[in-house]
Each structure stands twice: as structure tokens, then as C-alpha cells.
Amino acid sequence: MKSLNLKCRAKINLSIDVLGKREDNYHLVEMIMQTIDLYDNVNIEEIDSGIIIESDNEHVPTDSSNIAYKAADLIKQKFNIDKGVKIRINKNIPVAAGLAGGSTNAAAVLVGINKMWDLKLTQDELMELGLQLGADVPFCILGGAAIARGIGEKLTRIKGLGNVKILICKPDILVSTKWVYQNLDANEISKRPNTKNILNNLEENDVQALANNMVNVLESVTENEYIQIKEIKKKMIEYNALGSMMSGSGPTVFGIFNNLEYAQMAKKELQQVYKQTYLVNTYKGGIEIEG
């Protein structure tokens, strides 16, 4: 039987702005995304029929509600494939965290099945398929850094952060992206990101200026509900993070560090309260097929 192992990485948002809402209630966004070297391992094995999902994390659904299941089903139906797949997801990326953990699993399934069954889909074609599953899936296939517009589907590759240390900390709470957007009042957004400035910071590799310019307009909603987010940000800044911000709709907070010792000290302290704390680097690639 055919089998493939893949690494699929998380993302953070270096900025998020919400510009309006479409008639179908999808929000129009402008955000800068960056891949980080925190990854799940996904194994895809060919079976006679059907789709089986397994995971080492109890919070990952193993039925048809799993976005990785939906990815396999989508590609099987598109190409009228009779064979089935067993998908094993070993999680390192926190669940419901604003890090695209589910989306990157779906991206890995699309990339893996394309390879395993020699479907010869280009990266752009895979990204188009991914968009049917969720707005973050195309970026997870692309990897590196990109600016996303529209509902997140219009991606432009940009120069990302070099080999920069990122401290990730997820408090033990689950946040609904839908709830965050529903509770966002555009009239109450007091500070918005200057996307042009951030893009210039990335081009010039000015990490400190980038850290100063990071803004996530969704923070106002999630921070008001969960005090832990402010507390984690404050702790990272105390340990000399260049900047700290919530990723996505939360609740994960990240800090950018240029000093490994300070980053390790911050990690050690935060881990005493928040188990899901990781020190990683930024990453330039997308889905990685092992072997």
C-alpha cells in the first residue's frame, strides 16, 4: 500500500485589518501571514475505500467534520477515485488557536494525495481546491509569507521574516473565530495596521520596526473577553520581546525575539502557567513531503 509522511506548519499573523463586510456576511480583510516552524505530522496511507481519520489529540474530530476529511473527500470526488485513505494526524500545533492548525492539516492532505496518486495538480490548482475548504488553506499550501486580501483568498507572496525567533503561547481556552468576527464593531477600532509600512519593514529586514508596527484589530474583541491574552503579552515584553501580539482570532499570543536567552527565559516562565508554549523560528516553505 502507498503511504506518505508530511510536515504541515502553523502560521502567525503579523497584522490583521478588517475593511468591511460582504453581502454574504464574510468579512473583507487585509492581513500579513508568516509560516513558523511549528508543525504537525500527517501520514496518509492508501486503503481500499473510504476515509479514516486518526489523531493523538482528543480535540481533533475523527469524523466527516474534520477539515482534513473534507480535503480527502473533495479530491476523491473531483477525480472520481475509488480508493480510500487513512489519515493519521499527530498534533503539535495547538487546536482552535489562531494558528491555522486545521487548515494546514487539510493542506497536507491535498498536497499528499496529489503526490500519492500522481494527479499532477499544480500548486495554484491545489490552492484553488483549498479555498473551497477554508480561507487559510491556500496560504498553508503556499507557505512562507504573504499578504491576504478579500476574505483571505487573494494571496500575494512577499518577503517574510528571516530566521527569527518566535515564542508561541496558547492559554487553555478555546475561541470561536465566528464569535470574534460577530462581536467586532468596526466603529470601535481605534488603531489599524499600516500595511505599507509593515511591507517596507519586511523588505528592509527591520525586525524592530516591524514589531512596533504590528496591529491585529481582532485583539479588541478577544482581549476584552480573556484577560490571559494581555497578561501573556505583558510577560513577553517584560522579557524583552521586540513586540507581542495575538495571532488570528486568538487566543494564541506570539512574541518576536532577537535574543535567544531572553526568549528561553520567557518560555520557561510562561510554561509554568501555560503548557502550550513553544519557541520556534520563522519558516520560508510550505507543506513538506518527507522521504
CB 96 within 8 A of CB 70: no
End-of-domain residue from the set 127, 159, 191 = 159
Q: Examine the domain organization and report whether 19 and 155 are in the same domain.
A: yes
Q: Examine the domain organization and report whether 150 and 113 are in the same domain.
A: yes
Q: Is 11 a catalytic residue?
A: yes
At residue 115, the pLDDT reads 97
Predicted structure pTM score = 0.94
At residue 96, the pLDDT reads 85
Q: Examine the domain organization and report whether 154 and 210 are in the same domain.
A: no
**Does 229 score more than 90 pLDDT?**
yes
At residue 261, the pLDDT reads 98
Tell me, yes or no, whether 121 lies in a domain. Answer: yes
Tell me, yes or no, whether 289 lies in a domain. Answer: no
At residue 51, the pLDDT reads 98
Q: Say which CATH number the domain at 98 has.
A: 3.30.230.10
Confidence band for 218, pLDDT divided at 50, 70 and 90:
very high
Distance between CA atoms of 284 and 27, rounded to whole angstroms?
Answer: 28
**Does 192 score more than 80 pLDDT?**
yes
Torsions phi, psi for 204 (to 5 deg): -90, 0
For residue 20, give its domain range.
3-159
Tell me, yes or no, whether 188 lies in a domain. Answer: yes
Q: Examine the domain organization and report whether 273 and 174 are in the same domain.
A: yes
At residue 102, the pLDDT reads 96
- Number of domains into which the chain is organized: 2
Q: Examine the domain organization and report whether 25 and 90 are in the same domain.
A: yes
At residue 190, the pLDDT reads 84
At residue 271, the pLDDT reads 98
pLDDT tens per residue, range 251-263: 999 999 999 999 9
**Does 189 score more than 90 pLDDT?**
no
Q: Say which CATH number the domain at 206 has.
A: 3.30.70.890
Q: Examine the domain organization and report whether 252 and 185 are in the same domain.
A: yes
At residue 46, the pLDDT reads 97
Q: Examine the domain organization and report whether 87 and 153 are in the same domain.
A: yes
Catalytic residue among 136, 170, 233, 267: 136
Q: Examine the domain organization and report whether 18 and 140 are in the same domain.
A: yes
Query: Mean pLDDT across the stretch 19-40?
Result: 91
CA distances from 162 to 159, 207, 239, 285 (A): 9, 9, 21, 12
Confidence band for 291, pLDDT divided at 50, 70 and 90:
low
End-of-domain residue from the set 132, 159, 186 = 159
* Percent above pLDDT 90 for the chain: 88
At residue 117, the pLDDT reads 96
pLDDT tens per residue, range 92-141: 999 989 999 999 999 999 999 999 999 999 999 999 999 999 989 999 99
Tell me, yes or no, whether 274 lies in a domain. Answer: yes
Confidence band for 188, pLDDT divided at 50, 70 and 90:
confident
Tell me, yes or no, whether 37 lies in a domain. Answer: yes
CB 217 within 8 A of CB 209: no
Q: Is 136 a catalytic residue?
A: yes
Query: Mean pLDDT across the stretch 236-242?
Result: 98
Q: Examine the domain organization and report whether 199 and 123 are in the same domain.
A: no
Q: Examine the domain organization and report whether 31 and 113 are in the same domain.
A: yes
Tell me, yes or no, whether 23 lies in a domain. Answer: yes
| Secondary structure class of 2 (helix, strand, coil) | coil
Residue type for position 277: T
At residue 177, the pLDDT reads 84
Distance between CA atoms of 289 and 79, rounded to whole angstroms?
Answer: 22
Residues 6+ apart with CB under 8 A from 173: 226, 228, 251
Catalytic residue among 11, 70, 91, 170: 11
Tell me, yes or no, whether 22 lies in a domain. Answer: yes
Q: Examine the domain organization and report whether 46 and 147 are in the same domain.
A: yes
Tell me, yes or no, whether 287 lies in a domain. Answer: no
End-of-domain residue from the set 94, 125, 159 = 159
Q: Examine the domain organization and report whether 98 and 148 are in the same domain.
A: yes
